[in-house]
Chains A and B, each alone.
Chain A
Amino acid sequence: MPHQCFFRVGRKGETMTEHMEWEDRITQVLTNLYRSYGYSRYRMEKFEPYELYMANKNYLQGGVIAFPDNTGKLMALKPDVTMSVVRNTRAEEKEKKVYYSENVFRMERDTQEYREIRQIGLEYIGGGDGYPEAETLLLAAESLKCLGRDFALCLSHADLVQALLEGCIHSEAELKVVLQALRRHRPYSIAELQLPELVADSIRTLITLPGDAREALACLRSMKTDREIRPIVQELETVVEVLEQAGFAANVKIDFSILNDTDYYNGISFVGYLDGIPKAVLAGGRYNNLMQRLGKNQGGIGFALYLGELIRSFAAPAETDADILLLYGSQPACRVLERVRAYTEQGFTVRAAAEFPEGFRAGRVIELQEENK
């Protein structure tokens, strides 16, 4: 038998052999995790009506690949899963929990080129605010943990920023400066604006929050403001507590550089980073506003893990193309197949070839004629 290396991840300790590709292994581990919390698989159509995305262009922050079908109707090559889940949610569905493992197609922000993006994620529709939020954040942390490296799960809250800025921003340009200052951790640009002192100080506090979540929450609690932000801070505290109790105290951070479009998102937003990977690998948040825009009354929260960045870092190149290369020369097909099946039943991967394939890397080469010697 070939060497068996077990990949143990998740609450129930699923195991798989190293023969599986990294991407397949992690997909299986994560989908098992989501299934164990009662999520069912959501399968998305490859093509969806373009009008759905046209009406919500800003949500995707990038172009969609569109084409006319044979009736002339404009279709889109699936650019996003969440919107599809929301669209397919019925009014009478009080609670819906789905996970997905899909490839989506859209324009990448930094290259401005269309890319196929591999995503695994989940959506929790309905069910109120408290539990769905706690479970989603917990599963986001568990998903990052499955990847086996130090990680950071950074939380933000759109309502807090909105509450602080309400009535103080007088132009789009001013709003852009404030949001850029938050997104870029750029406290010095706040001075360029004519904001009330209390608001400017609050924004500076958000930008310079300490790395430790508890210390950051203490700063938010003691922040001098005339706005009612206590329920928002309380909501963040609850989530931090849930994550602490699950053993993720060192991983959770409060970071208001995470700002999603408030036309679609509200409440808690979050991103996940893995040590050694330069970009966020997980992103999610509450999207009740998107639900409303699409005519749904329920709330919604979810996240997606982006495998593209991860595959580059985690997927070690295979040392061999197959365990056994079976060179059969002019032996009859039935004899060759008999041997191939025998080896595969023993757990080996086998490539049968009449002659040595150029560049092939085999663990062992067996010539069929010599097999019985």
Chain B
Amino acid sequence: MISIALPKGRLGNSVYKKLAAIGYSCPEMLEDNRKLIFENTEKGVRYILVKPSDVAVYVEHGAADVGIVGYDVLLESDPDVFELLDLNIGKCSICVAAPNGFADELKAPLRVATKYPHVAKSYYSKMNRSIEIINLHGSIELAPIVGLSDVIVDIVETGTTLRENGLYVCSHIVDSSARFIANKSSYQFKRQSIEAMLVGLEADT
């Protein structure tokens, strides 16, 4: 039995379709219910649906053997896992965005609202720019509009949300996409199954 941590939402749904197509189906996943664990013993697979930012935690601690997670999450949490494949889906970028017309005048520490504090600190420390991190967990775009921060560091997919909230991308930090990750110990003992899955996903990307 191989357990797979999938992020809830669009990315998880899209990866499930890929996995189902290469032999890891679990029809119960498509039913309208609130279950979080789905198992198909015949196919030897168990799916665990978790919050996208928690996928790597489940895999690193062995609650799941493999998982699908955004590179943005891996950069932020730096889990001790194997990153076996770039799935080239769920593409986005981590960017610095600010209200239209904003210019950093370097007069005071820059207030940065983000759910990626490590990425933001690392980015600004390379520029030797002092910052004050404001940790948020959602609706990051709101922060500079209501004066909570000067800028935000967040993922940008199409830029529509930023534009609709009067923000623009000042700088691009790094590109992100979904990655297929594995627990280091599981990889030693379930290598054949994990590699079979890897080959199937690779052929599909």
Contact = CB atoms under 8 A, between A and B. Distances in A.
Contacts of A279: 62, 80, 184-185
B184 A280 contact: yes
Interface in A185-218: 185-186, 188, 211
Nearest to A149: B189
Contact of A257 (B60, B82, B85, B183): B82
A256 to B, nearest CB: 12
B54 interface: no
Interface string A173-195: 00000000000111010000000
B83 A278 contact: no
B82 A273 contact: no
Contact of A277 (B62, B86, B182): B62
Contacts of B60: 110, 278
Given A184-B82, A278-B60, A154 B188 contact: yes
Contact of B86 (A185, A188, A274, A275): A188
A185 B82 CA distance: 5
A150 B184 contact: no
Interface in B75-126: 79-86
A110 B85 contact: no
Given A211-B191, A278-B61, A278-B62, A273 B185 contact: yes
Contacts of B80: 109-110, 279
Interface residues of A, number: 20
Contacts of B86: 188
A280 B185 contact: yes
Contacts of A211: 188, 191-192
A187 B184 CA distance: 16
B83 A273 contact: no
SS of B interface (majority) = mixed
A279 B59 CA distance: 11
A186 B188 contact: no
A152 interface: yes
B41 to A, nearest CB: 19
Contacts of A188: 85-86
B84 A273 contact: no
B186 interface: yes
Contacts of A150: 189
A277 B185 CA distance: 7
B62 A185 contact: no
A278 B191 CA distance: 14
Contact of B81 (A184, A276, A277, A280): A184
A78 interface: no
B170 to A, nearest CB: 22
Contacts of A186: 82-84
Contacts of B79: 110
B183 A278 contact: yes
A273 B186 CA distance: 9
B11 to A, nearest CB: 18
Contact of B184 (A109, A257, A275, A276): A257
B70 to A, nearest CB: 15
A273 B188 contact: yes
A111 to B, nearest CB: 12
A153 B182 CA distance: 18
A275 B184 CA distance: 11
Contact of A273 (B81, B85, B182, B189): B189
Contacts of B191: 211
A6 B188 CA distance: 30
Interface string B177-196: 00000111111110110000
Contact of A152 (B61, B81, B83, B188): B188
A276 B183 CA distance: 11
Contacts of A109: 80
Given A150-B189, A152-B188, A184 B183 contact: no
Interface string A134-164: 0000000000000000101010000000000
Nearest to A152: B188
B186 A278 contact: yes
A253 interface: yes
Contact of A253 (B61, B82, B186, B188): B188
Interface of B: 60-62, 79-86, 182-189, 191-192
6 contacts: A150-B189, A154-B188, A253-B188, A275-B189, A276-B62, A279-B184
Q: 7 shortest A-B CB distances, which residue pairs?
A: A278-B62, A152-B188, A185-B82, A273-B185, A184-B83, A186-B83, A275-B189
Given A253-B188, A277-B62, A278-B62, 15 more contacts: A110-B79, A110-B80, A150-B189, A184-B81, A184-B83, A185-B82, A185-B84, A188-B85, A211-B188, A273-B188, A275-B185, A278-B61, A278-B185, A279-B80, A279-B185
